[in-house]
Structure 1
Amino acid sequence: MIIMIAAVAENNALGKNNELVWHLPNDFKRFKSLTSGHHIIMGRKTFESFPKPLPNRTHIIITRQKEYQAEGCIIVDSMDKALAICPKNEDTFIIGGGEIYTLGLPFTDKIEITRVHHNFEGDAHFPEINDDEWKIIVSEFNEKDEKHLYDYSYQTFLRK
């Protein structure tokens, strides 16, 4: 199954200046538990926003830079090539950024969203989830607390 996973503001903002604009420790834990042991597909800028490659995951980086290299990662120049590398009988996660989500949406079977209940200024955005194509099957609301400055919901969508 091809699964997109993202933390997204109410206005679909993903981040600004290649950084998240919120801090939700529970979202990081959820991301880690869902993606560990799997192939993850991302754009170059998303990869470069990490301090180091994420442990226990196979990184596939999509970039137009012909000479780009990242130790221990697979580099490709298209979503088709990225998906072709992934095992067909296992979950594969598309983890961003905005352009990669747009490229990956037609191939996606499931979307795992952490919806941050706030609007943020951003320069990368998640594509619109069309109600005609997707149905929400899980929505779990979480109130803000001492570690989470914003209310947020975990939402799971399946393609109709």
Structure 2
Amino acid sequence: MITIIAAINKNRGLGFENKLLYWLPNDLKRFKALTTGHTIIMGRKTFESFPKGALPNRRNIVLSKGDHNFPGAECFHSLEEALMHCGKEEDIYIIGGAGLYAEALAIADRLCLTEIEDDKKEADVFFPEIDTTHWKVVNRETHSVDEKHAYAYSFVDYEKG
């Protein structure tokens, strides 16, 4: 199964200057719970945004057109090539960036999005538009602002349908 996982705001903003727009501890916990023990595929800039490099307890795959060495990760030149090196039963999570999300949307089985109730933060990368004729919401869990979360947000899971 191929799952796209991302946190986006009302404008579909993903990040600014290669950093996440929001710090939501529950989103980070969800990301870790969903991806641990599975394969994560990301672009070079996403990998470079991790302060400690490869994420532990996951198979890290980085896509890069160049011949780079990414400690703790495998590198392939395209999404197609990376997928050829994954098993049919492998759970694969596409974790960014924007170009990879756009490419993977056509082949993904599921979207696990954190939709943040904000449209003010400046973003320079955006999640592709979701065609609601192809994607259906199968689960929504809404959370209010609290002492650890400055923005209301929802965990929204979509499946093709």
Query: For the superposition of Structure 1 and Structure 2, which TM-score range results when normalised by the shorter chain?
Result: over 0.9
- The alignment status of 1:46 with 2:65, answered yes or no, reads no
1:17 maps to which residue? Answer: 17
Q: By how many angstroms is 1:72 displaced? A: 2.2
Q: By how many angstroms is 1:86 displaced? A: 1.7
2:131 maps to which residue? Answer: 130
1:150 maps to which residue? Answer: 151
Q: By how many angstroms is 1:21 displaced? A: 1.6
1:93 maps to which residue? Answer: 93
Long gaps (5+) in structure 2 = none
Q: By how many angstroms is 1:50 displaced? A: 0.2
Counterpart code for 1:97: G
Instruction: Give me the TM-score of the superposition, normalised by structure 2.
Output: 0.96
Counterpart code for 1:127: P
1:30 maps to which residue? Answer: 30
Q: By how many angstroms is 1:91 displaced? A: 1.2
- Post-superposition Cα deviations, 1:48-73, rounded to whole Å, max 9, x if no partner, equal 000121110011101112x2111221
Per mean C-alpha deviation after superposition, the further-off stretch among 4-13 and 119-128 is 119-128
1:5 maps to which residue? Answer: 5
Q: Which 4+ stretches in 1 moved above 4 angstroms?
A: none
Counterpart code for 2:94: I
Q: By how many angstroms is 1:14 displaced? A: 0.2
Per mean C-alpha deviation after superposition, the further-off stretch among 68-77 and 43-52 is 68-77
- Post-superposition Cα deviations, 1:88-128, rounded to whole Å, max 9, x if no partner, equal 11211000010110111111000000001101211111111
Q: By how many angstroms is 1:137 displaced? A: 0.6
Instruction: Give me the TM-score of the superposition, normalised by structure 1.
Output: 0.97
SS where residue 40 of structure 1 aligns? strand
2:79 maps to which residue? Answer: 79
CA RMSD of aligned residues (A): 0.8
- The alignment status of 1:63 with 2:64, answered yes or no, reads yes
SS where residue 154 of structure 1 aligns? strand
Q: How many residue pairs get matched?
A: 159
Counterpart code for 1:157: Y
Counterpart CA distance in 2 for 1:159 and 1:4 is 12
SS where residue 100 of structure 1 aligns? helix
